């Protein structure tokens, strides 16, 4: 049985108040076995934290690992290139301090198996498989002149999604992703924003009956639906159907945010993906119209975030970044939220709230006896200053996932 004893640690505990100073934490067989101010080392490997902060590993609740660039339209790229990009994305996530990610469309059982077998390294992976989108929906990436993909199939030109219409077809598509090991179902309930019109010319997608069919299939297997949805009517339809996780939601009203609270839904904003697209607009040849739409989307999202705090909607933490260059901005989601919330609440979103969203309350995102030993040691106090998380090369001294150490600068 592998054991590690952390000594002289300042802990970020579940209450996310002040740091709890001078604790020891015993990790045994991948779990946190004991938390106390006095623990005998026994045969454990001892790591002196020396007054630094010991905190839960970060969780990104909206990641995409299969991108090769900012566009998800990648079906023509060789599968080997996508696999290599995915492996690199996962490794970089872990080395930035993300010990868990929820993948929002594109990853599959093959990637999960490689992680489980140790052939690649990365965070714990909660993957959606292919996201469900309707014909002409937010993840149907065909232009009006395109009918079939390069292989002659009617498809979305992306490994991240599958086109499906009608309740029977949606049930079958959801069942197929669940059969292939998806830990939750992802669907598109409105259009996107990298287009001239809000919502990609759609206010909502899928009928109420179609949405309920996906929710029912997920619930039958003890899981839930996460929905890409920007618009007010789209969010209302999702809430009525029982969708658990509302992604983006930048164009909703305060009344709809209050409905999120009533339905006990989670809200996952993703600011950095929008900001990163604005910053790369010249390189990506985005039109001024699209850039203006992105900037308006960011400002509306900031307003929605304030309403979510007011109505006590649980706010998750996601990044929604596509491609290896974009992934370099993954930690900057903390930067995007600094003037919207307290550091402690932002950190809670990226740990305990996301863990509850993933149906892993008390097992991930906390330092608690019995929880998975997904731990970070950082210089500084992230409850007071999020900058310590933004520079992992300087401040992130140790990374542990499931009791295994992947980085250690304390020896």
Residue 112 domain-assigned (yes or no): yes
Give the CATH number of the domain where residue 146 resides.
3.20.20.140
Whether residues 27 and 124 share a domain: the answer is: no
Residue 339 makes CB contacts below 8 A (sequence gap 6+) with none
The total number of structural domains in the chain stands at 2
Q: Is 67 part of any domain?
A: yes
Identify whether residues 85 and 208 lie together within a single domain: yes
CA 69 vs CA 162, 195, 245, 331, 386: distances in Å: 20, 17, 26, 18, 28
Same domain (yes/no): 91, 33: no
* Domain presence at residue 359: no
Encode pLDDT of 275-313 as tens digits.
Answer: 999 999 998 888 898 899 899 999 999 999 999 999 999
Same domain, 171 and 51: no
> Taking the mean position of all CA atoms in its chain, how far away is CA 283?
26
Q: Which of 330, 358, 389 is the last residue of a domain?
A: 330
Residues 324 and 385 occupy one common structural domain: no
pLDDT at 196: 46
pLDDT for the residue 248: 97
Which sign, positive or negative, has the C-alpha torsion 349, 82, 275, 137? negative
Residue 133 lies in a domain: yes
CATH of the domain at 49: 2.30.40.10
Domain boundary among 285, 309, 330: 330
Q: What pLDDT sits at residue 199?
A: 40
C-alpha closest to that of 2 among 409, 411, 410, 404: 404
158 with 30, same domain?
no
Residues of the chain where predicted confidence (pLDDT) is lower than 70? 1, 15, 195-201
246 in a structural domain: yes
Which pLDDT belongs to residue 195? 56
The domain in which residue 372 lies consists of: 3-57+366-408
Does 13 share its domain with 70? no
Residues 281 and 209 in one domain: yes
**Do residues 21 and 128 share a domain?**
no
- What pLDDT does 201 receive? 55
Q: Are residues 323 and 375 in the same domain?
A: no
Residue 392 within any structural domain of the chain: yes
Selection from 74, 86, 102, 58 nearest residue 324 by Cα: 86
- Which token pair is 6? 């952390």
Residue 158 in domain: yes
pTM of this structure: 0.96
Q: Both 72 and 10 in a single domain?
A: no
402 and 307 in a common domain: no
Domain membership flag for residue 233: yes
Q: What confidence score (pLDDT) does residue 82 get?
A: 92
- Report pLDDT for 90: 97
Distance, in Å, from the CA atom of 244 to the CA atom of 404, rounded to the nearest integer, reads 32
């Amino acid at each position: 049985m592998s054991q590690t004893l952390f000594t002289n640690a300042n802990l970020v505990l579940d209450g996310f108040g002040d740091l709890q100073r001078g604790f020891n934490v015993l990790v045994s067989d991948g779990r946190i076995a004991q938390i106390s101010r006095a623990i005998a080392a026994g045969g454990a490997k001892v790591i002196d934290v020396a007054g630094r902060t010991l905190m839960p590993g970060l969780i990104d609740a909206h990641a995409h690992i299969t991108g090769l660039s900012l566009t998800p339209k990648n079906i023509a790229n060789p599968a080997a290139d996508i696999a290599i990009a995915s492996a690199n994305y996962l490794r970089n996530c872990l080395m930035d301090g993300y010990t868990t990610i929820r993948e929002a469309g594109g990853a599959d059982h093959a990637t999960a198996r490689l992680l489980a077998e140790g052939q690649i390294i990365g965070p714990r992976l909660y993957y959606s498989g292919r996201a469900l989108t309707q014909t002409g929906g937010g993840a149907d990436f065909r232009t009006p002149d395109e009918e079939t993909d390069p292989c002659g199939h009617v498809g979305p030109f992306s490994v991240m999604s599958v086109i499906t219409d009608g309740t029977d077809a949606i049930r079958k598509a959801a069942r197929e992703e669940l059969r292939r090991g998806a830990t939750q179902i992802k669907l598109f309930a409105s259009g996107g924003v990298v287009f001239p019109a809000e919502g990609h010319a759609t206010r909502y997608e899928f009928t109420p009956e179609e949405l309920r069919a996906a929710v029912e299939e997920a619930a039958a297997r003890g899981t839930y639906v996460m929905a890409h949805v920007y618009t007010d009517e789209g969010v209302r339809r999702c809430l009525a159907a029982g969708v658990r996780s509302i992604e983006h939601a930048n164009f909703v009203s305060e009344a709809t945010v209050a409905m999120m609270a009533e339905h006990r839904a989670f809200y996952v904003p993703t600011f950095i993906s929008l900001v990163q697209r604005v910053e790369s607009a010249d390189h990506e040849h985005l039109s001024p119209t699209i850039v203006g739409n992105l900037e308006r989307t960011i400002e509306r999202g900031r307003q929605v975030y304030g309403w979510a705090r007011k109505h006590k909607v649980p706010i998750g933490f996601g990044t929604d970044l596509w491609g290896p260059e974009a992934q370099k901005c993954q930690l900057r989601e903390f930067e995007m939220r600094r003037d919207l919330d307290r550091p402690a609440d932002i950190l809670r979103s990226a740990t305990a709230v996301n863990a509850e969203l993933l149906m892993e309350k008390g097992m991930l995102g906390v330092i608690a006896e019995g929880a998975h030993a997904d731990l970070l040691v950082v210089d500084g106090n992230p409850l007071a200053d999020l900058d310590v998380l933004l520079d992992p090369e300087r401040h992130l001294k140790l990374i542990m996932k499931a009791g295994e150490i992947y980085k250690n600068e304390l020896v």
